[in-house]
Structure 1
């Protein structure tokens, strides 16, 4: 009877937490849509200083074309201000592509420019589609002051690491615990030393791996949001964007 009670309690609590999470997500989506409706047409309200823009050029630098706008012309025309005014992007990847479009104005051919105009017209006239797309891109979030593209590029250069050192440290830590159990002389000092060494090693490896794990997490979210975008059923959207996700 006691086991059944706890199973039912845990089950009810789990269902409540699932419902609460779903309800919170729904409310957050509604708040986002209301906010974007009121902000439509207004200037983007975000930090567009030099430090905030330092990462968005990295994708462009790796795809620079011969007829791209050079740095001197870009600065003379104060194109950073133009980018800031046009930057309604909800994701870091979108910011990098927008910057690349501005620096490489001849990247698109005539048919691609016509297709882009149709996309813009659709988003201007159909607020529901615009809000749906904005929300899905918003779920990708910004990724701080670094370029996702840089880390994706560095993943190819990352060498395979061996785990022998970590297994050795784990073995020595277990050995120090065994020594303490059997009251071996100097065991407490050995245990404290191994704990410190393992902690230092952990934080060193964590610092190296965090950026890559963040990128993997971002890519997984990108794939998940792409599937959601694919499930948006709208005739004009599918015709105009020709989504191939």
Structure 2
């Protein structure tokens, strides 16, 4: 009776602790939603995060140059409040894949709105996803994918170990000495063969197969959510779970990597059982065969969980924006880019701008006036509109674009390529893109800045002519005013300007029509404390060039 009482008391305590843990967890998810930005620095885990995307990438995706130019890792990090590794991996891939199917984007919008508006639904989803857990620097998709490649060898020796152990235990009841001798032999042989086999199987495979079992358990809870927004997903999950009926039970015998005392103690006992019976090896073989046979269903389960987790991230991110709008996509056979109140989502106090164009754009203006930021703002909005169906603008109307940039380029020291070589390769990839039917939005900062003025203007004008005549809206920022004249008619001209006083230069960061007529480089030198004689000679040289059209020799000024 005392033993029964102790067991009951233990169960009551564990139940009370579990209830308290769930209450604390619920408080956290309520408090953080819409307030906390993601704090995962994805660079540290980029190889594992990228694995799913690398398996799914296509020629119309946001490529690495564009992703880096736009600092999309920062946007991803701020948006990524995912609960599972699966959500992180799925969101990273989703932000790369610019959609051109309205029904896909509208479905994402439908789910994020439901999550935002229905607190109880969101909290239930978050609580379910928390039970899956996460691990540092491992890809769930990679592990599930590579589980199809587990090579244990023949399963029969391990089945023989299991049956030998069971028979030895039974023999103990008939003959203690014979049974003890047989059991000792089984223990020695099972340990030797167990460790020899397990050396070929990475330990984290077992953890993620347990994670897969947790995914199935979560799918069961998601399937039971009685909400109209979840009906289609519940039906899919119900169908998926039919193919994996026994996995949750089988996963008990896999390594748990527990962190609590109770879990560690239980796992220690199970370790001995695994070694003596080879139960985990047999189960790994079985699970690998099951996953291989039904990998399409594994992918569907992974993607539904990843989708729901990432949509919770998006819903939370939307609450943190000053404002946003749902994009309106052009269904006519024409190029259009129209936005009102457009702003950069990474700038805390952004200046907004508006644009309405059906042609490509030459963007001029002085240093630090806002040209590069505007290019990034337009490109980021196109990506967010076609991935998570939000625009950081009061109104956004445009095509379903492929998005390319050529902006934050550097020398490639590994491949021994100069800045100019890197630059011309970057622009060439836009000209030679795979999909010629889908319109392109390309943003280029300082075309061919890595070469001399005469060749730069000649080559740039022809490259921009090619892009402007193609199925593209090209926005090119430049200091070469000559390009605005050469491309007049094919490109529209816009500029940013500044206000210059004796002691300072101020910028309004507002987009204006026309060509820039102001300069500030020499003025900035003066403000930064350069010697007066340098400033005077620079101004004199510039004035003489404007009058004569040629540069004089330096020794005339000394």
On whether the aligned pair clears a TM of 0.5, the verdict is yes
Please report how far the alpha carbon of residue 162 of structure 1 lies from its aligned counterpart in structure 2 after TM superposition. Answer: 4.2
Distance 2:112 2:155 in 1: 51
Q: Distance in 2 between matches of 1:83 and 1:202?
A: 42
Corresponding residue pairs, total: 214
Give the secondary structure class of the aligned counterpart of 2:58.
coil
Match of 1:137 among 97, 117, 129: 129
SS at match of 2:46: coil
Q: CA deviation at 1:154?
A: 1.3
1:160-213 C-alpha deviation (Å, 9 max, x unpaired): 324799889xx9xxxxxxxxxxxxxxxxxxxxxxx8xx5897388257341221
Match for residue 174 of structure 1? none
Whichever structure has more strand as a proportion of its residues is: 2
8 Å CA contact 1:55, 1:145 repeated in 2: yes
Query: Matched residues in 1 for 2:5 and 2:54: separation?
Result: 54
Please, what TM-score do these two structures have when normalized by structure 1?
Answer: 0.75
What is aligned with 2:33? 40
- Mapped partners of 1:238, 1:47: distance in 2: 28
Query: Which residue of structure 2 aligns with residue 122 of structure 1?
Result: 114
Once residues 45 and 64 of structure 1 are traced to their aligned partners in structure 2, the CA distance between those partners, rounded to angstroms, is: 24
> 1: CA distance between counterparts of 2:157 and 2:203?
19
Q: CA 1:119/1:67 → structure 2, altered by over 3 Å: closer, same or farther?
A: same
**Counterparts in 2 of 1:186-197, with a 5 A limit?**
none
Question: Could you tell me which residue of structure 2 aligns to residue 187 of structure 1?
Answer: none
* Partner in structure 1 of residue 68 of structure 2: 75
Q: TM-score, normalised by structure 2?
A: 0.35
Distance verdict in 2 for CA 1:88–1:57, change over 3 Å: same
Aligned match of 1:99: 92
Show structure 1 runs of 4+ deviating over 4 A.
162-168, 198-201, 239-243
Pick aligned residue for 2:203 from 177, 197, 210: 210
Separation in 1, partners of 2:193, 2:152:
21
Structure 1, unaligned stretches of length 5 or more? 1-7, 172-194
Give, in angstroms, the shift of residue 239 of structure 1.
Answer: 4.8
Structure 1 vs Structure 2 CA RMSD: 3.1
2:15 equivalent to 1:22: yes
Between the aligned partners of 1:126 and 1:148, the Cα distance in structure 2 is 29
**Does 137-146 or 10-19 show the bigger shift?**
10-19
Matched, 1:113 2:69: no
Structure with more relative contact order (C-alpha pairs < 8 Å, separation 6 or more): 1
Whose radius of gyration is greater, 1 or 2? Answer: 2
Mapped partners of 1:199, 1:209: distance in 2: 18
- 2:53–2:93 contact (8 Å) kept in structure 1: yes
